[in-house]
Copies of this chain bind each other. A is one copy, B any other.
Amino acid sequence: MDEPRRTVLVIEDELPIRRFLRAALGAQQLHVVEAANGADGLALAASAAPDVILLDLGLPDIDGLEVLARLREWSTVPVIVLSARGQEADKVRGLDAGADDYLGKPFGVPELAARIRVALRHGDREAAPASVYANAGLRIDLHSRAVTRDGVPLHLSPRQYRVLAVLARHAGRVVTHAQLLREVWGEASDASPDYVRIAIHELRHRLEPDPVRPRWLRTEPGVGYRLIDDAGG
């Protein structure tokens, strides 16, 4: 229901087509990020961390296939090529260069949406890194959403889990109050820092043997909180 909104990066130089895609994809509940040339596209592919990329081949600065090749040096994000060049040889070149799909213009929005859904399915199955925090009996598996202490499963409320997950993702480092509010309660939220305090309190009560002397959830006065990681930090 409240699944995280997926991000699609559109790399396309023609403004009308960008506008068209923005409207069409926005209607599919997708978050759209746009780049008008290859250089910006590559930069956004890194900074915006899109779930799928739509790539036009006729770009003004860098050749589309070159963009694809540079992207594939470090990313496996699904790429769907949109091209006016619909010749078979072009398709083969694009697909062999690392594209996951190839749509010749003109294309229908329903088909594009369906192929994006396919790409998102692929991305889901692939983006399953070994994201597990384990330290002195406490184990947080971000993939299966399971928290155990000494092998005993712990029950956490949605809020509590999200707070803990953010801390686990930055294990060993300090996470500021503002950062926690942003990542848990959302960007546009008027939530007060009090929420964090209470969530931490509840978390300590559920997973700390002695909540008064926290072993894992350490307070950094004036800054935020830190999930202790003996290994690194």
Given contacts A92-B113, A144-B174, 8 further A-B contacts (CB under 8 A): A1-B193, A91-B111, A92-B114, A95-B111, A95-B115, A95-B118, A144-B233, A145-B223
Tell me which of B125, B145, B173, B187 contacts A173 (CB under 8 A).
B145
Which residues of A are interface residues toward B (Cβ below 8 A)? 1-3, 76, 88-89, 91-92, 95-96, 99-101, 108, 110-111, 113-115, 117-118, 122, 125-126, 141, 143-146, 148, 153, 157-158, 172-174, 176-179, 187, 193, 220-223, 226, 233
Q: Is A141 a contact of B233 with CB atoms below 8 Å?
A: yes
Q: So how many copies of this chain end up in the complex?
A: 2
Residues of B contacting A179 in the complex (Cβ-Cβ under 8 angstroms): 3
A10 to chain B, nearest CB (A): 20
Q: Which of A125, A144, A176, A187 has the most CB of B within 10 A?
A: A144
Residues of B contacting A222 in the complex (Cβ-Cβ under 8 angstroms): 157-158
A117-B145 CB under 8 A given contacts A1-B178, A88-B108, A193-B1: no
Residues of B contacting A145 in the complex (Cβ-Cβ under 8 angstroms): 173-174, 220, 223, 226
Q: For the complex, would chain A's binding face be called helix, strand, loop or mixed by DSSP majority?
A: mixed
Q: Which of A117, A158, A172, A233 has the most CB of B within 10 A?
A: A233
A96-B125 CB under 8 A given contacts A143-B173, A222-B158: no
Q: How far, in angstroms, from A190 to B177 measured CA to CA in the complex?
A: 27
Residues of B contacting A96 in the complex (Cβ-Cβ under 8 angstroms): 114, 117
Q: How far, in angstroms, from A126 to B123 measured CA to CA in the complex?
A: 10
Q: How far, in angstroms, from A153 to B153 measured CA to CA in the complex?
A: 30
Residues of B contacting A95 in the complex (Cβ-Cβ under 8 angstroms): 111, 114-115, 117-118
A71 to chain B, nearest CB (A): 15
17 intermolecular pairs with C-beta atoms under 8 Å apart:
A1-B193, A3-B176, A91-B111, A92-B110, A95-B111, A95-B115, A95-B118, A96-B114, A99-B118, A117-B187, A141-B233, A143-B173, A144-B173, A144-B174, A144-B226, A145-B226, A148-B233
